[in-house]
Amino acid sequence: MDGNPQTIIATLLDITDRKRAEQALQTEKEKAQRYLDIADVIMLALNKKGEITLVNQKGASILGYKIEELIGKNWFNTCVPTADRKQTKKIFNEFIAGGVALGDHFEQTIITKSGEERIIDWHSTPLWEWVDDEKHRIGSLNSGEDITERKRAEQLLNALNRAAVAMGTSQTQEDIFDAVAEELKQLDISCILFPLDKTQESLITEYVSYDSAALATAEKLLGIKHEDYSFPVDVVDVWRKVIREKKTLFTDDLKQTLHQMLPKLPKKLSTQIVKHLRTNKVISAPLIVEDQVIGLFSIQSDTFTRENISVATAFADQLSSAWNKIELLQNLRKTVEGTIHTIAATVEARDPYTAGHQIRGADLAAAIAIEMKLTDDQVEGIRMAGIIHDLGKINIPAEILSKPGKLSELEFQIIQTHPQVGYDLLKNIEFPWPIAEMVLQHHEKMDGSGYPQGLKGDDILLEARILAVADIVEAMSSHRPYRPALGIEKALTQIKKDKGTLLDPDIVDACLKIFKGGYQLLED
């Protein structure tokens, strides 16, 4: 033989069936992936190390990755916020060990490739492997629904509901805006309220809630304070539509709005301002009262979508009502104040001593109320009652009021009728405060020895108890027809003596404190 092979022996293996099986398996895998990809929820499989072994297109899209970028990545290190990572890993490891069930549904905050946080409602089930006739958990199969927008809408609705409750106790329009701004701030939402001016043609940038540092930077860049700026309704397209067409609108171009508000503003500068304000999405709603627009309410957050329009519209209606209620109340108070000062002037024309006493006593009573941390509304009511608390003396003969000597028993009894007379004159006038009752009770004493009803302790209105202390201090400190002024020191000594018996101790303490702090009675 010459060393060359004479015969070739070959072994042939028919792999047709195997190839067909592999192709069939691949086809099934592709079909399964297509089924997963058309699912409108996240489908995610993790092995026992927490590595991603399967994810569908929906999941990859929500997370901001391509599918191939996620396969093999550790779920916890990639998609769970750092603050939650340790605890989430612990729960997953306990789940794999069989010590804990994840439950039918649980919510989890995840983080996308861009750094945005989303909220997912998960349903999880174990993946099993049989080893020596024993079943072991080797991972989890999870389906998740992105509920971020729904949760944010719920949070916005809850915040606005809390704001609506707070508006009900607000006494001024500033209080209303502050209550709304504070609730929205918790969700990192800024807001602006633009009242319309009297011409109904310009919006005033009076109420603004942005991060203080961001607002200061924006004002510095603009060279103007926000409260000093107003602009015609029609210069900003979106706000013109909100006002003129009375409808709520969503926009995602704050830069364009700034350009229209400030046409001379360089584009580079507007970009800087938007960056500092940290938001570009805005919902603007008209404030409407009796079919007339009184202003515009705008909320800003990068989490907003058009889905939030209905919630914003409903809240704007509540805000309009509260805003108008305060406006009406303020107008009513101006009318009431005018009425009270007119009544006081009537008393003054007849008895200058009483008029001066009322004004000084009213100022002192209000100062005591402020020291006691009463509400602005209560303080104002006490001040108004104080101005006319001796109104009933209008029914007492002038010769008794100005008598230089000691009053007879009968004359004193006539003097004691003035709280009841004042009450009778005021009781049918509608005030925002219990003015008539304060006037009636301002001579009552804590031990029941006062007049006209002999009330005791807490049966006496707090406001009337304050007026009682202020009345004594002012009366003793000032000149009267029947005696010279005794001076403030004697007056304060007297209320110390009467503290706890005739006079409310807390009110006496507050009165002493304000005088110690430098308070002085008004001059004539």
Q: What are 351-388's pLDDT values in tens digits?
A: 666 557 788 899 999 999 999 999 988 999 999 999 88
- pLDDT of 273 strictly over 60: yes
Q: What distance in Å separates the CA atoms of residue 100 and residue 309, rounded to the nearest whole number?
A: 42
Q: Percent of the chain at pLDDT above 70?
A: 81
- pLDDT of 223 strictly over 90: no
Q: Which of 39-48, 323-332, 436-445 has the lowest mean pLDDT?
A: 323-332
Domains of the chain, residue spans:
16-146, 151-324, 351-516
Q: How confident is the model at residue 482 (pLDDT cuts 50, 70, 90)?
A: low
| Per-residue pLDDT at 455 | 96
Q: What distance in Å separates the CA atoms of residue 198 and residue 200, rounded to the nearest whole number?
A: 5
Q: Which of 196-200, 288-292, 349-353, 488-492 has the lowest mean pLDDT?
A: 349-353
Whether 151-324 and 351-516 share one fold: the answer is no
- pLDDT of 282 strictly over 70: yes
Identify the three-state secondary structure at position 287.
strand
Q: In the β-sheet with 117-131, what is the strand arrangement from edge to edge?
A: 52-55, 42-47, 134-146, 117-131, 106-111
- pLDDT of 136 strictly over 70: yes
| Per-residue pLDDT at 166 | 82
Q: What distance in Å separates the CA atoms of residue 350 and residue 238, rounded to the nearest whole number?
A: 61
Assigned CATH topology for domain 16-146: Beta-Lactamase (3.30.450)
User: pTM of the predicted model, to two decimals?
Assistant: 0.60
Mean pLDDT of 278-304: 88
Between CA 470 and CA 478, with CA 472 as vertex, the angle to 5 degrees is: 100
Could you tell me which CATH number the domain at 351-516 has? 1.10.3210.10
Mean pLDDT of 449-474: 95
Could you tell me which CATH number the domain at 151-324 has? 3.30.450.40
3-state secondary structure labels for all residues of 463-518: HHHHHHHHHHHHHHHCCECCECCCCHHHHHHHHHHHECCCECHHHHHHHHHHHHCC
